[in-house]
Homo-oligomer: A and B are copies of this chain.
Amino acid sequence: MAATGTVTAFEIHDVRFPTSERLDGSDAMHPDPDYSAAYLVLHTAGGPRGHGLCFTLGRGNDVMAAAIRSLAPYLVGRPVPATAADLAALHRDLTHDSQLRWLGPEKGVMQMAAGAVLNAAWDLAARRAGLPVWEFLAAMTPEDLVSLVDFRYLSDALTPGEALALLRAAEPGRAARAARLKAEGYPAYTTSPGWLGYDDGKLVRLAKEAVADGFGQIKLKVGADLDDDKRRLRLARAAVGPGVRIAVDANQRWDVAEAVRWMTALAPYTPYWIEEPTSPDDVLGHAAVRSGQPVKVATGEHVANRVVFKQLLQAGAVDFVQIDAARVAGVNENLAILLLAAKYGVPVCPHAGGVGLCELVQHLAMFDYVAVSGSRDDRVIEYVDHLHEHFVHPVVIEHGRYRAPAAPGFSAEMHPASLAAHRYPDGPVWRARRTTEEALA
């Protein structure tokens, strides 16, 4: 028998949703996503379980599952991480494994796998503490928070001492901001109207619904055809009126000069920001796009790690930092990115959507407000209204705002029935789909 307080098993699921059937999530680079998750459950002896996931677009979800499995020896049979020191050590173990780091280093499949495992460990630690992750983090001392960050490669932009000073400066207001957050929630924007595969009628209808639901910002996918983009922006503006912001998102579609040309042409339609104008690896390219046209620049959902975020900030390449809960090495690396953004005074507007990304990232934005930046000004969390029904504690959106989650943990736990129904390739949803395809063939 394993001792109480020991991780006993990794339970890994390949879960896929056939979202490509309705073009939900379609953009200029990803026309047919099947929103999926490589989903991890940490079992413990006699205690709560921890839940984490990697979001993918379908194919390759099995590769992510294999990558998560490769990290099991760092937890299975070992004590449950409970303290900041435990979670700092786990982060170091997972990202600095002397053999596995060759597969990145700190990027792509292995980095996302490390993120899923770390986030599951954070879920578990927060559940044991009886707190949602945002409050679990906001209850830590500045010293503990600094100890969670890997400052390797950051010291030319942010030192541990500077991070500590930032966190200490925000400490006196924590309780008041937490109370305000519980009362008021955190501003959201919605991408639901703007998928590229939706026709004009659906765009207009969903844009009007977004305003009626209280959102102050929507987002449209752009980048496939300039005339279409102009028409869609015009329709969306007419639908939402002058007081609602409309961000646009090119999903990495352009080269630098093309981004500058395209956004110069769209600028008269007053888009609030242009998101992912070019390659997420192109720091200098983002800087050139930002200086070459009048629309503010946002990026981050595909930025592989803190080192690239550091450079985006050093180069003055972005107006908004878009963290993603499941792209980098978990809470620890996102904490580094929040601190970098605070140092450079750039607002963090998280990427979300996918499978469980809203559920996860809300905790990080709320923690940022309470204990790091201390501000909700110019900050919004993305919201997409897909697939929340599969989560035990789905996000709650009221009047265009995320309600602060109250359940202990990281909100990433999925319903067992959802896991079973969407198991790939042999769950009933996928068996039925193959039967349909065979009948049509």
Contact = CB atoms under 8 A, between A and B. Distances in A.
B107 A304 contact: yes
A97 B252 CA distance: 14
A182 B109 CA distance: 41
Given A63-B70, A67-B109, A282 B32 contact: no
A279 B99 contact: no
A296 B95 CA distance: 29
Contacts of A108: 103-104, 107-111, 304
Given A32-B99, A66-B66, A99-B30, A107 B110 contact: no
Interface string A281-306: 11111001000000000000010110
Interface stretch (A151-159, A163-171, A221-229): A151-159
Interface string A98-114: 11111111111111100
A25 to B, nearest CB: 11
Interface in A5-47: 29-34
Given A105-B252, A109-B63, A252-B105, A278 B153 contact: yes
Given A63-B63, A283-B311, A304-B107, A255 B102 contact: no
A57 interface: yes
Contacts of A307: 279, 281-282, 285
Contact of A102 (B56, B308, B310, B311): B56
A173 interface: no
Contacts of A258: 155
Interface in A248-287: 252, 255-258, 278-285
A435 to B, nearest CB: 21
B156 A255 contact: yes
Contacts of A34: 99
A339 to B, nearest CB: 16
A284 B32 CA distance: 36
B255 A281 contact: no
Nearest to A97: B59
Contacts of A305: 281
Name the residue among A98, A258, A304 with the largest chain B CB count within 10 angstroms. Answer: A98
A315 interface: yes
A254 to B, nearest CB: 9
Interface string A46-58: 0000000001111
A302 B285 CA distance: 21
A130 interface: no
A315 B66 CA distance: 37
A334 B97 CA distance: 28
Contacts of A154: 255
Interface of A: 29-34, 55-60, 62-64, 66-67, 70, 97-112, 152-156, 252, 255-258, 278-285, 288, 302, 304-305, 307-308, 310-311, 314-315
Given A33-B102, A56-B103, A103-B108, 6 more contacts: A30-B99, A56-B102, A103-B109, A108-B111, A153-B285, A281-B305
28 contacts: A29-B98, A30-B102, A32-B98, A32-B99, A33-B102, A34-B99, A56-B99, A60-B100, A60-B102, A63-B70, A63-B109, A66-B66, A103-B109, A105-B252, A105-B279, A107-B281, A107-B304, A108-B304, A152-B255, A153-B255, A153-B279, A154-B255, A155-B255, A155-B256, A281-B304, A281-B305, A283-B284, A285-B311
